[in-house]
Amino acid sequence: MDDSLFRALADPTRRKILELLTEKDRTAGEIAEQFPIAFASVSHHLGVLKAADLVATEREGQFIRYRLNTTVFQEVVRYFMTRFAGGETSMRSRWFGLVIAAVAVAMSVWAYPQLPPTVATHWSLNGTPDGFSSRLGALAIVPLVLIVMTAVFNVLPKVDPRGENYTKFLSSYWLIANAVIVFLLVAHGMIIAAGLGFAIKIDRLMPLGIGLLFVFLGNFLTRVEPNWFVGIRTPWTLSKDTVWRRTHTTGGSVFVIGGLVLAGAALLPRGAFLPLLITTIVVVPAIPIVQSYVLWKREQHDRP
């Protein structure tokens, strides 16, 4: 991937131009009206964006109209997919987390000179920043967590008293673990983007991301064999394998449905969004927990 893309995004004026173009296509004059700088400077920024293929142009009579070049985003997706498609960088690989940690480190190194000394790292449910960290702390925490998580995920099958069961669902185990790691990378990217001045709606994007993560996890919960660390671990699922399997069958469906509700709720007005968000977060884990107890109690009652 060409470094000109990252250089183009490094300047706040160019990022503002891209933000304007997300609303509609504009001529150079219409763009220049939005900035207190010389037209020649705006033309220079437009030239840099065009060289990085972030914008495309189309002549209309005497004017040149600028628009976002959406194909560049397709290239970004292809860039990462070709590197994560298999081998040690597959999402089924035990070392995938280190690849993601390296990406997070690269993002942090690139963003460090451009961020203010204090960066928002936590937001309230209404989208207002209510937690802040130093620039170094904000950029270091996620890469460090990713490295630690990768190490922990590698150790768990070795120390689990039911470690032999991991061989039955190892592929799904790493997909679940690495999905969480990718989610943290996305959160890292949102913190950086917000710190750089992009209009990021954290209060909506985060529930959307959590919802999609739930959908993904729900599709693999049914494949998780009894163990002490991954899955729906209640006293009742851990005590009976039949309770474990039936609970995870239900839990997988509940997680998918709950994830879709969360993702959809992120698009609703705030009056409907917050109650639905809180209800879903409470109900999704409650259903399989209660079911596991009911199933266990029923088996106890049916025991001769």
**Which pLDDT score, from 0 to 100, does residue 81 have?**
46
176/45 Cα distance (integer angstroms) = 42
With beta carbons less than 8 A apart as the criterion, state whether 129 and 122 touch: yes
Q: Classify the C-alpha dihedral 246-250-252-255 as positive or negative.
A: negative
188/15 Cα distance (integer angstroms) = 19
**Which pLDDT score, from 0 to 100, does residue 75 have?**
55
Domain ranges of the chain: 4-72, 85-200, 202-304
**Which pLDDT score, from 0 to 100, does residue 59 have?**
82
138/133 Cα distance (integer angstroms) = 6
Digit-coded pLDDT (tens) for 64-117: 888 877 655 545 545 554 444 444 446 778 889 999 999 999 999 999 999 999
**Which pLDDT score, from 0 to 100, does residue 85 have?**
45
Report residues of the chain scoring pLDDT below 50.
Answer: 1, 74, 77, 81-89
Domain 4-72 indexed as CATH 1.10.10.10: yes
88/106 Cα distance (integer angstroms) = 19
Q: Classify the C-alpha dihedral 206-121-197-273 as positive or negative.
A: positive
With beta carbons less than 8 A apart as the criterion, state whether 243 and 292 touch: yes
Burial class (CB in 10 A: 0-12, 13-18, 19+), 244: buried
With beta carbons less than 8 A apart as the criterion, state whether 288 and 258 touch: no
CA distances from 230 to 70, 86, 242, 304 (A): 39, 24, 16, 32
**Which pLDDT score, from 0 to 100, does residue 229 have?**
94
Spatial neighbors of 304 by CB under 8 A, at least 6 apart, are none
Digit-coded pLDDT (tens) for 143-178: 999 999 999 999 999 999 999 999 888 888 999 999
**Which pLDDT score, from 0 to 100, does residue 21 have?**
81
Whose structure tokens read 């990022």?
15
Among 198, 219, 201, 221, smallest CA distance to 209 is for 201
**DSSP per-residue letters across 291-303:** HHHHHHHHHHHH-
Model's pTM, two decimal places? Answer: 0.69
